[in-house]
Amino acid sequence: MEKTLVIIKPDGVQRNLIGEIICRLERSGLKLVGMKLVQADDKMVEKHYTIDPSWLKTVGVKAIESYKEKGLEPPNNDPVAVGKDVLKRLKNFMTAGPVVAMVWEGNAAVSLVRKICGSTEPFSAAIGTIRGDLSPIETYQMADLANRAIRNLVHASGTVAEAEKEIVIWFKKDEIWDYNLARDTILYDANWRV
């Protein structure tokens, strides 16, 4: 059993997509074990995105590659500089309004939720994913030209270790619930019979 952090970003809240996003996660069989509406501040956002010290670089590399794949010249070829810029824009974006913070639990929850969300750039995210279905016009280029973060509706933890560190930024221990759902027998109990 894994736990993973999902945040519905301010664009998701403002576009009234909270229900739609939760619906997609809920029907997967994952269990909602924590949920609240939060107004984040710069400090929380910085803490959240710098848990992994290599994130600044990897986020830059990913962005530069995406430009090159489309035959475009990236605005900057230094991945760390791109990463720092992304962090600055993320602070502005993630504090723009309330977000919905959630913890989802289940078998392979971390990678399953990433699959349901789709890749970072909504334009490149597969149809059938949250980002690909609900925000498909959004590109790296559109965000970079406007000097803003990519509005991709959701955050989802990238690894189990990342999830553990992220969850404690957003939730206190007693805000995470351990409870049974009748449905769990069907999903997990080897002896289940009608």
Q: Which residues make up the interface to ligand GDP (CB under 6 A)?
A: 59, 62-63, 86, 89-90, 120, 140, 143-144, 149-150, 152, 155, 158
Rounded Cα distance between 55 and 42, Å, is: 17
Least distance in angstroms from the C-beta of 182 to ligand GDP: 33
Residues in contact with Mg ion by the rule CB under 5 A: 158
- Of the pair 80, 184, the CB lying nearest ligand GDP is at 80
Residues 6+ apart with CB under 8 A from 64: 74, 76, 77, 79, 82
Rounded Cα distance between 134 and 13, Å, is: 13
Q: Are 83 and 57 in contact (CB under 8 A)?
A: yes
Annotated catalytic, 48?
A: no
- Of the pair 5, 90, the CB lying nearest ligand GDP is at 90
Rounded Cα distance between 12 and 9, Å, is: 5
Q: Which amino acid is at 36?
A: K
Backbone angles phi, psi at 16, to 5 degrees: 55, 45
- Of the pair 159, 184, the CB lying nearest Mg ion is at 159
- Of the pair 150, 163, the CB lying nearest ligand GDP is at 150
Least distance in angstroms from the C-beta of 178 to ligand GDP: 27
CB atoms near residue 167 (< 10 Å):
20
Say which of 155, 157, 162, 163 is annotated catalytic. 155
Which positions are catalytic?
155
